[in-house]
Structure 1
Amino acid sequence: MILKNFFVHTRSVRFIKIGLVLSIILPLVSCSGDDDDDLVGNWVKLSDFNGVPRTSATGVAVGTLGYMGTGLDSNDDRLTDFWTYDADRDQWSQIADFPGAARTNAVSFAADDKLYVGTGFDGTVKVRLKDFYEYDPSSNAWTQIADLQSDNVNSPDVVGREGAVAFTLNDVGYVGCGTDGDGNILKDFYAYDPSTQAWAEKTAIGGSKRTDAVAFVISDEAYVATGINNGTYVSDFWKYNATDDSWTKLRSITDATDDDFDDDYDDIVRNNGVAFTSGGKGYVATGGKNSSGAVVWEYNPSTDLWVEKTGFEGSSRYNAVAFTINDMGYVTTGQNSSYYFDDIWRFDPNAEQDDDDNGN
C-alpha cells in the first residue's frame, strides 16, 4: 500500500507522535492487505513465450502439448504465427503459420488429436469471422474446413463472431455465444464432428446471451460461465450434456441467496478471463470488470460450490490464454492496459503459495 501526500512537520514532538501512529497503523495495513495468506494454490513462473508479446490470442492443449497463436501485438498488428508449448521441457516451438486472416478473439478446440481454430475479428476489413481451420501435428499442416454453419435448413445463416467459447466433448468440438458484426450478443451453439467433417446446430445455452465468457470440461460435461451481455455482467452458470443435448442451470456465480456460501461470489463475475481444469475441478482466472484482474476461483462439480484460491501471481491481466496439460493449468500472454505479456505460469491448486518461485 502506498501512502500519498503524507506531510510530516519537522518539529520533534509532532514527528514522534506521527511515528507512533504509523507504528500502530502500518502493521495493521500490512496484515489486512495480504488477502492470499489463507488461500491455497501456488503459481510458478516458467520460461517466457518465444514469440512477441500479445493479447486476445487463442489456444488449447492437444494431447500433452499446449497450442497458442494469432492475437494482437503492441504495434496493433494482428498475427498469424502459431506455437506449441512442451510442459515437460518448459519449451516453446513455432509451427506452421495459421493460414487464415490475422485475427483476434478467435476460439480453438482439440478433437481427434488435431487442433481447430476459427471465428474471431479481422481488424483489417472489420469483419467478424466464421471460417475454421484444422491443424494436423503429424504433418505440421493446416487445412481449411467448413465454415461455422447449421445443418437446420430452417435456420438462417450462422453469423461470424468474436469472443465466443469453445470446448470438446467425446472428440466433437462445440462453439457458441460471442458477438456478431452488428454488436448483437449471441447464445447459439454448433458442433463439429471430425469423423463426418460436418457442423450441426445444437441447443442454445439457457439464460443470458454472452460474449467474452469462459468454458471448461469435467467428466464429459461442459461448463460455461462469466461474460457480458449488453453492458451487464452475466452471473448465471450452465452445464451442458452432449448425450441429450441439454443445458442445466447451476447456482449463480453472484451473491444471490441469504446463505453464507455465496457471500463473496460477486468476485467470480467477470469478462475476458480464462478457464482450465485440474483434479476434476474447474478454475476461472484473470479477467475482470472493465479491468485486468488476478482473482482465482475453483469450482467443485460434486457440490456445485466455488472456493477462492490463491490469486494469479503474475501481473493482473485480461484477454490471456489458458490450457490444461497433464492435469495442471497454464496461463500465458494477455494485456494490462497498454502492456502486453509474453510470460507463462503454471498453477498447482493444492500447493501452498511460495513467492520464491514466481520470478519476483
Structure 2
Amino acid sequence: MNTNKNFMHLISYRSVIRLLLIIIVLPMTFITLSNCSGDDADPQPEPTAASEIRSISPTSGYVGDTIEITGTNFGSQMSTNTVRFNAITAKLTAATATKLTVTVPAGATSGKVSVVTNADTATGPEFTVLSLHSVDSFSPRSGEVGTEVIISGSNFGSNKSLVTLTLNSLSIPVLAVNDTQITASIPTGAATGKFTVTINGKAVESATTFSLITENPVISNFYPSGGVAGGQVIIAGSNFSLTPEDNIVKFNGVAAKVINASSSQLKVITNYGTTTGKIEITVTGKSGISAMDFEILAPVVTSFGPDKAGIGSTIQLYGSNFGDSLELIKVKFNGVETEPYYLPSTNIVWVRVPSGATTGKITVNVGGTDGVSATDFTVLPGLWEKIAQLPQSPSRMDAITFSYGSKVYAGLGQLQTKDFWEYNPDSDTWTQKADFGGTSRAYASAFTLSGKGYVIGGANNESPYNQLSEVWQYDPSANTWTQKADFPGGPKLHAVAFNIYGKGYITTGKSDNAYKKDMWEYDPDSDTWTEKASMPASASVRIYAAGFSVNGKGYVGTGFNGSVKLKDFWEFDPVANSWTQKTDFPGDARNSGIGFSTGSYGYMGLGVTNVAQSDFYQYNPVANSWTMKSNLPYTMQQVASTSTPGGYGYIIGGNGSVSSTFKYIED
C-alpha cells in the first residue's frame, strides 16, 4: 500500500516537471524561430521619424555622375530608400541613416531630388542635370602657327575659364566661347592632331585631325602627265593638308576638285575649261607650283556610224580622249548641240541627231576642248515621232492596221486577242472599239475601201491551228463588223494588200503552206473576188513581202521565198493587168519589212536581214528611183503599217529592240 502511494507521488512529481518544461521551453522556441525567419544580417529598425534632406553634393552634374545626399532618418539599408531625380529613379550605391550615395540616372532632368522611405517622402533642393558638350567640326581643317580656329559644337557654355582646349595634348589658349563655338589660336609647339574640349572634367575629342602646316607644299610628280578635262590626276609631293578641301589645287588657273588627301598625295579631278599649264597647290596661304605642265588632250573623232541618218537617230562616235564623264561632253552636228547619253568607254560615245541638225561636221567638246570629225555627217530627211502606244502593244507582232480619214485602226496579232482600237492623232489617244467579229488571228492583211476597213485571211494559233480565208468588214461609223464573201484563193497568210481606185488587191503570201505570187481583186459593191495576173515567172513566190499603192499602181518587193531573202521590186498595173520589174529595193535583202504611201511617193524599210533593221527609203514612181530617208530610231520587224492624208505614215506593234508606235512625217 505504501509502495503504491510512493509510486503515485512519483508520477505526479514527474508530470509537474514536464509541464513546467513545456511552459518554459515553448515560448523560447517560438522566439528562436521568429528570429531565424529574417535576414542573416542583424535587423535594422525602419525609420519611424520623418526623414529630411539637408544637402546634395554636387548640385549639378551629368548622367552617370555620383551624388551624395545628406540628411536624417534615411533607411540604413539601400532597399529601404528610393531616390528620384525629378521623378526618375536613381540607383543607390551606399546608404546610412544620414547619407545616401546615388548615380544620376539616364533620362534624368533638372529638378527636385526626393528620398522615399517607409516613413515618408523628403524633398530636397534642385539638382541641375548638365548636357554633355559635343565637338562637331572645326574650321579651317589645317593651318600654321597663329591660325585662328573655330570649333563648332554644342553645350560649351559662355564661361571660357571653364573650358580647357588641347591639340594633340598641347594646351591651346581659348580666345572666346559661346554655347556653340570656341575660338582659339594655334600656338608655337603645336603638332598635327585632334582637338580635345574638356568642361567640368568631361573630355570630348574631335572626330577629325587638324593638319599643322609648317612649310610650303611641294609637287614632286603627277600622273598621268596629261589627260582630258574632267579626268582624274594623282599629285605626289609633301606638306599637303590631310583635309581634301583645305588643299586648293589649280591647273593653269582653273580650280580642280580634291577627292582624297594625305600629307604626301592628292587625288584630284580636273574641271571644265582646264587648259594646258602648271599645277599650283595652296595650303593655308602657302603655295607650291609644279615644274612641268599638265597637258590637256583634245578629243579625236576618227569615225562615226551610221554616216547618214535622220533626226532622232542614234549615232556612235569613235575616237579617243572622250574622258569618262558624260557631264563634261558636248556634241554638235554642224553647230547644233546635243547631249550624249551613253559612254561605254573613253573611245566611244553615243548621241542622237538633234532637231534642227543639218549635214556637216561633228564636233566633240570634252571639258571645253574641241575635236572635229574629218568627214561630214549627212542628215537624212523625214522625221519619226513616237506617239501614244497601242494598248498591249509590246510583242503584238503581225497585227493588222488600216486608216480612214485621219484616224488609224489596229488590232489582232500574235497576242491572240480580238481587241480593236482607234487612234486619234489630234489627242494622241487610243480608244477601244468593238471586238473583231471573227476568231482571234495573226498574219492577216488589210485595206480600206469606201470608208470601211477589210481584214483578209490570217491564222488562228489556238488549238487546232487554222489557216483562214474569211473576209471581215469594219464600219467605223457604226462601229460594227460584218463578214463578207470568203477569199476564193484559199487560206491567205503573210500577204501584201492595198487599194487602187476603189478596189482592193491582195498578192503573194502563203496558202495551205504553199508560197504564192497570185494577185486577186476585190469589188466591195458586189462583194466578189476576181483573180488577176500573177507575178511573172521571173518573180519568185514569197511571204512577208512589203508593198503599197501610189498613182494608180501597186508595188511589191522584198520577202522570203523559202530559201533566200529577196530585194527585187515589182509594179502592178490594174488597168493593163500586168507586172513590170522596177529598180531593186536599195537596202539589203530582207523580209518582214513595212510599206505605205503618202502623196505621190511610196515608202519601204525596216524588217530583218539576219538581224532587225531600221533603214527606211522613199520610192519615186515617176523617176523609178529610191532615196534614203531618216532611219527609225529603233530596229523593228513584223510591224503593221498604214498611212493617212497629210503625209503621215504609222507603224504599230512588232518585235525588235523596241515594241511601240511611231508616226513618220515627211519633210
Q: TM-score range by the shorter chain?
A: 0.5 to 0.7
Partner of 2:497: 215
Task: Give the structure with the higher percent strand.
Answer: 2
Structure 1 residues 274 and 352, CA gap change in structure 2 (3 angstroms) = closer
CA contact (8 A) 2:550 2:597 kept: yes
- Quote how far apart the aligned CAs of 1:288 are: 2.1
Structure 1 segments unaligned to the other structure (5+ residues): 1-44, 52-87, 123-127, 150-157, 254-261
- Which residue of the other structure, out of 310, 319, 325, is the alignment partner of 1:47? 310
Matched residue SS, 1:135: strand
Partner of 1:169: 449
Correspondence list, 1:29-178, <5 A: 47=310, 50=313, 90-102=382-394, 103-122=396-415, 128-149=416-437, 158-178=438-458
Structure 1 residues 252 and 341, CA gap change in structure 2 (3 angstroms) = same
- Quote how far apart the aligned CAs of 1:98 are: 1.1
Partner of 2:101: none
- Quote how far apart the aligned CAs of 1:263 are: 3.9
Map Cα deviations across residues 299-339 of structure 1 (whole Å, 9 max, x no partner). Answer: 001110000111100111111111101121111211112x1
Matched residue SS, 1:47: strand
- Which residue of the other structure, out of 556, 562, 566, is the alignment partner of 1:293? 566
AA in 1 matched with 2:310:
S
- Which residue of the other structure, out of 534, 542, 545, is the alignment partner of 1:252? 534
Structure 1 residues 331 and 49, CA gap change in structure 2 (3 angstroms) = farther
Return the index of the structure with the highest Cα Rg: 2
AA in 1 matched with 2:471:
F
Aligned length: 254
Normalized against structure 2, the TM-score is what? 0.36
Between the two structures, name the one with larger relative contact order (CA 8 Å, sep ≥ 6). Answer: 1
AA in 2 matched with 1:192:
Y
Structure 2 segments unaligned to the other structure (5+ residues): 1-307, 315-379, 631-667
Q: Percent identity?
A: 33
**In 2, Cα distance between equivalents of 1:50 and 1:198:** 40
- Quote how far apart the aligned CAs of 1:354 are: 7.5
Confirm or deny that 1:180 pairs with 2:460: yes
- Which residue of the other structure, out of 586, 591, 600, is the alignment partner of 1:318? 591
CA contact (8 A) 2:402 2:448 kept: yes
Matched residue SS, 2:543: coil
CA contact (8 A) 2:456 2:492 kept: no
Correspondence list, 1:328-347, <5 A: 328-337=601-610, 339-347=611-619
Structure 1 residues 196 and 352, CA gap change in structure 2 (3 angstroms) = closer
**In 2, Cα distance between equivalents of 1:354 and 1:224:** 24
**In 2, Cα distance between equivalents of 1:234 and 1:334:** 20
CA contact (8 A) 2:456 2:470 kept: yes
Structure 1 residues 229 and 263, CA gap change in structure 2 (3 angstroms) = closer
- Quote how far apart the aligned CAs of 1:220 are: 0.6
Structure 1 residues 196 and 231, CA gap change in structure 2 (3 angstroms) = same
Partner of 1:37: none
Normalized against structure 1, the TM-score is what? 0.66
CA RMSD, aligned part only?
A: 2.3
AA in 2 matched with 1:310:
T
CA contact (8 A) 1:49 1:343 kept: no
CA contact (8 A) 1:314 1:358 kept: no
CA contact (8 A) 1:165 1:177 kept: yes
CA contact (8 A) 1:331 1:344 kept: yes
Map Cα deviations across residues 168-200 of structure 1 (whole Å, 9 max, x no partner). Answer: 001111112111114321110111111101111
**In 2, Cα distance between equivalents of 1:180 and 1:139:** 33
- Which residue of the other structure, out of 592, 600, 621, is the alignment partner of 1:349? 621
- Quote how far apart the aligned CAs of 1:252 are: 2.8
**In 2, Cα distance between equivalents of 1:46 and 1:330:** 16
**In 2, Cα distance between equivalents of 1:352 and 1:184:** 40
Matched residue SS, 2:457: strand
Partner of 1:282: 554
